Chain A
Amino acid sequence: MTGDRQDQHIADAARGYHEPPPTPRDRMWARIETARAEEQRHTPEPTTPGWQRRQVLWPAAVIAALVVGVTVGRIWNPMAPAERPQPSLVTYDDPSPAFTGNLATYRQAARPVLARSETLLLQVRTGTDLAATSENYCSRALGLLAQTRLLLGSPAAKDPELAPLLEDLELALARLVYLASGPAAAADPRRELNALEEGLERKAVLPRLRNQLNAGSTPVGL
């Protein structure tokens, strides 16, 4: 058999490699519509001043990509050990802000996001009927995720205290979105919730949120 025929033979046989199932087009379209509706809700007003205007449109693709990041993590190991490095999430060609500003400003801007995130995560941990509240959790988590990502795209990402907390919060919220909206919600929500709680414990997210909220807006050393 000549090389060309061998190549053709291999290509024909390779069509069985990861052979795709029928395209679940309706299911995927429904999620795309949901994500775009969230994008519309979180697009800031045109009169919004300062650095927020430089982040005018945060595509729902980022939200979906952050959920993808959680999916990727789950595929490999849903019960991540403490020593395993956290996956970094899909990055985008974000426009960089043209100025740095005072970090205190961004810490102040972050406070409502941190406070609402703390409330949501506490409710998830103490709630008894995840299935009944998942739509509410998903909606709130998506909104907070978008705002967290806006902060991470701002000079707040340079804040040595705030940035690590925002990154861990981003992961927790993305996981909550996945939990509340994906197949996990229908499969075994309690198991998935336990995994979320373990992640929160391991990273001490809630105590760090409380510390940041208690610390006020004046950054150390500034």
Chain B
Amino acid sequence: MNERQLIQRARRGDPAAERSLYDTHVDRVFRLAYRMTGDLQLAEDLTQETFLRAFDSLDRFRGDAALSTWLYAIATRTVLSGLRKVRRLRDRETGTDELPEPPPSSHADAELRLLLDGAIDALPQDMRIVFLMHDVEGFKHHEIAAGMEISPGTSKSRLHRARAWLREYLTRYGYTFAEEDAS
């Protein structure tokens, strides 16, 4: 059974079709939610909410884009909305492109992960989302753009800025990229 047939059956309330659509896409949705939140309970709740919204609005899916693109757009908006609530509570978003004050420096490659975790946390949210979706989770720019309601060009621009920001952060805090092997 192809995806179009599954969608038609799901619209008629076929539970097996709904479960099949869910099983096909849930991993990617959950991974996105977890990458963005780092919290299992919140990631589960946001994933559930994504699919509830999707099933409730499946009648409005016109099929002019892939179902995955449509679904991941819902997921992105749902996660962003959840993150806005977290941000209001935590008051953690700096809202600027300025680098934070440096922590105690560390040069060892073995600590790249630790340094990088802090770097990604410190990334302004609009860049962090694009970086995680594209470079870490493998989303395409048109998928990111649909979810964030921006153009693919803006998505690319934010990714470029995010990468430059991370390189600068790591360099500033003492990380040294290995030289390429000349041979």
A positions within 8 Å CB-CB of B: 1-3, 5-7, 9-11, 13-18, 20-21, 23-25, 27-29, 31-32, 35-36, 39, 57, 59-61, 64-65, 67-69, 71-73, 75-77, 84-85, 87-91, 182-183
Of the candidates B47, B85, B90, the one whose C-beta lies within 8 Å of that of A90 is B85
A20 vs B180: C-alpha distance in the bound complex, in angstroms? 31
User: Given that A7-B135, A13-B116, A76-B89 are known contacts, is A64 also in contact with B48, CB under 8 Å in the complex?
Assistant: yes
Q: Does B161 contact A (CB under 8 A)?
A: no
What residues of chain B lie closer than 8 Å to A182, measured between beta carbons?
41
The interface size of chain B toward A, counting residues with CB under 8 Å, comes to 53
B interface majority secondary structure: helix
Q: Does B12 contact A (CB under 8 A)?
A: no
A76 vs B19: C-alpha distance in the bound complex, in angstroms? 33
What residues of chain B lie closer than 8 Å to A5, measured between beta carbons?
177, 180
What residues of chain A lie closer than 8 Å to B6, measured between beta carbons?
none
User: Given that A17-B120, A21-B40 are known contacts, is A76 also in contact with B86, CB under 8 Å in the complex?
Assistant: yes
Q: Does B173 contact A (CB under 8 A)?
A: no
Nearest residue, chain B, Cβ from A11: B135
Q: Mark B32-49, 1 if CB is under 8 A from A, else 0.
A: 001111111111111111
Contact A183 B41 (CB under 8 A): yes
Contact B48 A31 (CB under 8 A): yes
Q: Does B101 contact A (CB under 8 A)?
A: no
Of the candidates A10, A64, A76, the one whose C-beta lies within 8 Å of that of B90 is A76
Q: Does B62 contact A (CB under 8 A)?
A: no
A6 vs B166: C-alpha distance in the bound complex, in angstroms? 10
